């Protein structure tokens, strides 16, 4: 099968899907993008076989016929669990499923689907910009499937870096800690949001200040990364600041919502 014959599905958060789609579109693949409203996925275990009720028949069919799946869903846990179960019941048997590890490890995600060997972790943050993709094989992974994924992603123009299966991966974990510490400084009234960001841009030559960066990524995703790390590792440094959590509770999650640490015009 040639590269352009591949059928690819991107399913999950709209904002994260857009990043993956921006990278995939120039490749001229047959791509189906499915953006899921998480509130629609709050279903019971008894309803897992009927996830089609939020998908039209044509979309569900494309998912079941796909050769490669990117899952960008992060949290909440039950939402992710139900979608993974449905995908594993209906996708092609050997089709690899790259799943976001921003809130759970690939090993835990694989356990929800009876230790599926075709599940491999990745992260979708800044996916369209980063030349390298971090892959986190689960303990249950099939080396042959992993090798095929590495070859395919390389053919599509990504450099592949294998990492240990940990929540967040490398880049998301690092940036989440930076944003969280900046939000603590703001919470403690060390200085203003603008001054925090300016100090980091001038002092470290970062392209964005950490609070600006959080608004761009989405504060909900930063919170899910931190919560996942805190749950897995129990280290206090991963506890989300109160100000960050309140922003998420209020749905002031950044640019996509029109307000985060900063306000954005219509």
> Among the CATH numbers 3.30.530.20, 3.40.50.1000, 1.10.730.10, 3.40.50.720, which is that of 3-162?
3.40.50.720
- DSSP class of residue 250 equals T
pLDDT above 90: percentage of residues in the chain: 73
Question: Which two three-digit tokens encode residue 9?
Answer: 């599905």
In the prediction, which pLDDT does 180 show?
97
- For the chain, domain boundaries: 3-162, 171-257
Nearest to 80, CA basis, from 59, 97, 67 = 97
> Among the CATH numbers 3.30.230.10, 3.40.50.10490, 3.40.1210.10, 1.10.1040.50, which is that of 171-257?
1.10.1040.50
Q: In what order do the strands lie in the sheet with 7-12?
A: 30-35, 7-12, 68-71, 97-100, 119-122, 132-137, 159-162
In the prediction, which pLDDT does 66 show?
94
pLDDT in tens, 167-225: 999 999 999 999 999 999 999 999 999 999 999 999 988 889 999 999 999 999 999 99
pLDDT in tens, 220-233: 999 999 999 999 99
CA angle at residue 20 from 232 to 218, to 5 degrees? 55
Residues in CB range of 219: below 8 A, 6 or more apart: 244, 247, 248, 252, 253, 254, 260, 261
> Beta 132-137 vs 119-122: how paired, if at all?
antiparallel
pLDDT at 122 over 80: yes
pTM > 0.85: yes or no: yes
């Amino acid at each position: 099968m040639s590269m352009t014959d591949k059928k690819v599905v991107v399913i999950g958060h709209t904002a994260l899907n857009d990043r993956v789609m921006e990278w995939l579109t120039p490749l001229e693949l047959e791509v189906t993008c499915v953006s899921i409203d998480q509130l629609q996925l709050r279903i019971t275990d008894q309803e897992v076989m009927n996830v089609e009720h939020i998908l039209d028949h044509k979309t569900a069919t494309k998912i079941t016929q796909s050769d490669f799946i990117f899952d960008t869903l992060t949290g909440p846990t039950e939402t992710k669990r139900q979608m993974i179960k449905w995908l594993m019941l209906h996708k092609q048997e050997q089709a690899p499923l790259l799943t976001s590890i921003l809130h759970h490890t690939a090993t835990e995600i694989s356990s929800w689907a009876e230790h599926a060997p075709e599940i491999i972790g990745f992260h979708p943050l800044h996916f369209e910009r980063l030349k390298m993709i971090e892959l986190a094989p689960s303990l249950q992974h099939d080396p042959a499937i992993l090798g095929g994924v590495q070859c395919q992603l390389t053919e599509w123009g990504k450099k592949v870096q294998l990492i240990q299966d940990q929540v967040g991966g490398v880049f998301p974990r690092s940036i989440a800690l930076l944003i969280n510490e900046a939000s603590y400084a703001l919470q403690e009234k060390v200085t203003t949001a603008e001054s925090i960001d300016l100090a980091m841009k001038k002092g470290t030559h970062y392209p964005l200040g950490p609070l600006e960066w959080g608004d761009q990524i989405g504060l909900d995703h930063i919170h899910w990364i931190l919560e996942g790390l805190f749950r897995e590792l129990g280290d206090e440094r991963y506890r989300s600041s109160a100000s960050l959590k309140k922003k998420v509770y209020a749905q002031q999650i950044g640019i996509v919502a029109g307000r985060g640490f900063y306000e954005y015009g219509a």
